[in-house]
């Protein structure tokens, strides 16, 4: 049997830090309101010259260096992003160019905040069938460019960054299972219009994130509870088999509810939310990278990744590291 094994991780965060106090000078909010409701204190904001592909390149180069592989051995690049450099070429093709790779295939995945899980799941399918040997998965987002900085309900949540993971074929267990889902009937609760497209141009809607946060919150908590059950059942495992929860970083209260469902303490959760905010499809890979880099995540441990985002989309990946 062929398994997908993690051989390297990488991450990148832009230099500029925007604090809750900075935001309280822009909109009617406060550090205490934001921190108590979300768990966020600061987030990073990309410089004008930065793009999803430029940030993806830095995160990818770190993952490649940590894996110690020749970039030419990468035969698939999947970039999860809702903030691509261009409508086309895909950000994955732009990343392929930046990395000087001319073989294999690159394409983007758009599943909002669940994008990294979707990309890992796709990579795993191609590795397991033998179609690919080494796949680079990246989540890269410049959320700051699609946030309405006058809307206090959303501008406090999001940040910019990129995370990367390299997966390669092995005869040893790695990714144990992935589970991905979507339900398009929730469009109105969380969406970002595209003003270039006729339907949004007619409505004169700007291209910024619209969210009914409270309603999203409730669906997210219930849905993530179900995906935890689905993942454990598919692998015949009990809650105590999981060493680390690596969640999409949207809100500490959502993450705490999932940890509770797993009977885990917050010490078993990799949290980056406080200093990074919600970096959409990058957040989970950035958290995974942080846990690997600082040595909390150790070889042989079992990691549950999960995410929920616009669509709605949601999913999980159970990984033997
Ligand atoms: N500062 C102060 N007050 C605020 C702020 C703010 N930044 N934002 C909203 N408020 C006010 C509201 O106006 C409201 O006031 P009112 O009662 O007078 O009307 C009050 O606070 C409560 O608002 P709620 O929206 O009910 O606040 P809630 O406790 O739900 O917290 C939050 C809001 C943090 C957005 C939360 O709902 C949340 O995290 N939702 C989930 C977000 C998420 O997971 N998104 C999915 C991923 S994103 C993606 O896929 C792109």
Kindly state if the Cβ of 155 falls inside 6 Å of ligand 1.
Answer: no
State mean pLDDT over 71-91: 97
Give the model's pLDDT for residue 222.
95
Kindly state if the Cβ of 101 falls inside 6 Å of ligand 1.
Answer: no
| Residue to mutate, 217, 223, 255, ligand 1, most ligand atoms under 8 Å from C-beta | 217
- Whether residue 200 is predicted with pLDDT greater than 70 in this model: the reply is no
- Whether residue 197 is predicted with pLDDT greater than 80 in this model: the reply is no
Question: How does pLDDT run across 289-305, given as a tens digit for each residue?
Answer: 999 999 999 999 999 99
Q: Whose CA is nearest to atom 3 of ligand 1?
A: 29
| Residue located via tokens 């797993």 | 262
Closest atom of ligand 1 to CA, residue 23: 7
Kindly state if the Cβ of 153 falls inside 6 Å of ligand 1.
Answer: yes
The alpha carbon of 38 and the centre of ligand 1 are apart by a number of angstroms equal to: 9
Give the model's pLDDT for residue 195.
82
The alpha carbon of 211 and the centre of ligand 1 are apart by a number of angstroms equal to: 9
- Whether residue 47 is predicted with pLDDT greater than 80 in this model: the reply is yes
User: Percentage of the chain surpassing pLDDT 90?
Assistant: 96
| Residue to mutate, 26, 34, 37, 212, ligand 1, most ligand atoms under 8 Å from C-beta | 37
- Whether residue 187 is predicted with pLDDT greater than 80 in this model: the reply is yes
Phi and psi at 216, nearest 5°, equal: -60, -45
Residue 127, token pair as written in the block: 């590795």
Kindly state if the Cβ of 217 falls inside 6 Å of ligand 1.
Answer: yes
State mean pLDDT over 206-222: 95
Rounded-to-integer distance, Cα 168 and Cα 140, Å: 21
- Whether residue 125 is predicted with pLDDT greater than 80 in this model: the reply is yes
The alpha carbon of 292 and the centre of ligand 1 are apart by a number of angstroms equal to: 32
- Whether residue 86 is predicted with pLDDT greater than 90 in this model: the reply is yes
Kindly state if the Cβ of 223 falls inside 6 Å of ligand 1.
Answer: no
State mean pLDDT over 204-216: 93
Give the model's pLDDT for residue 319.
98
What sign for the dihedral angle of Cα 270, 271, 277, 280? positive
| Residue to mutate, 118, 150, 153, 189, ligand 1, most ligand atoms under 8 Å from C-beta | 153
The alpha carbon of 214 and the centre of ligand 1 are apart by a number of angstroms equal to: 6
Give the model's pLDDT for residue 205.
83
Rounded-to-integer distance, Cα 136 and Cα 65, Å: 13
pLDDT confidence band for 198 (50 / 70 / 90):
low
Q: Which domains does the chain have, with CATH numbers?
A: 3-171 (3.40.47.10), 176-320 (3.40.47.10)
Q: Whose CA is nearest to atom 50 of ligand 1?
A: 309
Question: How does pLDDT run across 248-291, given as a tens digit for each residue?
Answer: 999 999 999 999 999 999 999 999 999 999 999 999 999 999 99
- Whether residue 221 is predicted with pLDDT greater than 90 in this model: the reply is yes
Query: Which residues are catalytic, by number?
Result: 113, 248, 278
Residue 191, token pair as written in the block: 């969406």
- Average pLDDT value for the chain: 96
State mean pLDDT over 102-108: 96
The alpha carbon of 213 and the centre of ligand 1 are apart by a number of angstroms equal to: 5
The alpha carbon of 281 and the centre of ligand 1 are apart by a number of angstroms equal to: 20
Give the model's pLDDT for residue 119.
98
């Amino acid at each position: 049997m062929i398994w997908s094994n993690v051989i390297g991780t990488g991450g990148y965060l832009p230099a500029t830090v925007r604090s809750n106090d900075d935001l309280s000078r822009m909109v009617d909010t406060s550090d205490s309101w934001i921190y108590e409701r979300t768990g966020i204190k600061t987030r990073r904001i990309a410089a004008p010259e930065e793009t999803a592909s430029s940030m993806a390149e830095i995160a990818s180069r770190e993952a490649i260096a940590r894996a110690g592989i020749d970039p030419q051995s990468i035969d698939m690049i999947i970039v999860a992003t809702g903030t691509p450099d261009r409508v086309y070429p895909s950000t994955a093709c732009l990343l392929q160019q930046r990395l000087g790779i001319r073989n294999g295939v690159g394409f983007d995945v758009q599943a909002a905040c669940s994008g990294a899980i979707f990309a890992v799941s796709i990579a795993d399918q191609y590795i397991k069938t033998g179609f690919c040997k080494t796949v680079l998965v990246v989540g890269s987002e410049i959320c700051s460019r699609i946030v309405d900085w006058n809307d206090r309900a959303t501008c406090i949540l999001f940040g910019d960054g990129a995370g990367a993971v390299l997966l390669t074929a092995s005869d040893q267990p790695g990714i144990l299972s992935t589970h991905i889902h979507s339900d398009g009937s929730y469009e109105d609760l969380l969406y970002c219009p595209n003003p270039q497209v006729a339907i949004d141009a007619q409505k004169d809607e700007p291209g910024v994130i619209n969210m009914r946060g409270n309603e999203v919150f409730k669906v997210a908590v219930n849905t993530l509870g179900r995906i935890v059950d689905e993942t454990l059942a598919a692998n015949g495992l009990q809650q105590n088999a999981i060493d680390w929860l690596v969640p999409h970083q949207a809100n500490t209260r959502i993450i705490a509810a999932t940890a509770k469902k797993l009977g885990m303490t917050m010490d078993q959760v990799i949290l980056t939310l406080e200093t990074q905010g919600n970096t959409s499809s990058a957040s989970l890979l950035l958290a995974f990278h942080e846990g690997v880099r600082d040595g909390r995540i150790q070889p042989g441990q079992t990691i549950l990744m999960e995410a929920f985002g616009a669509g709605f989309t949601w999913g999980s990946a159970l990984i033997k590291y």
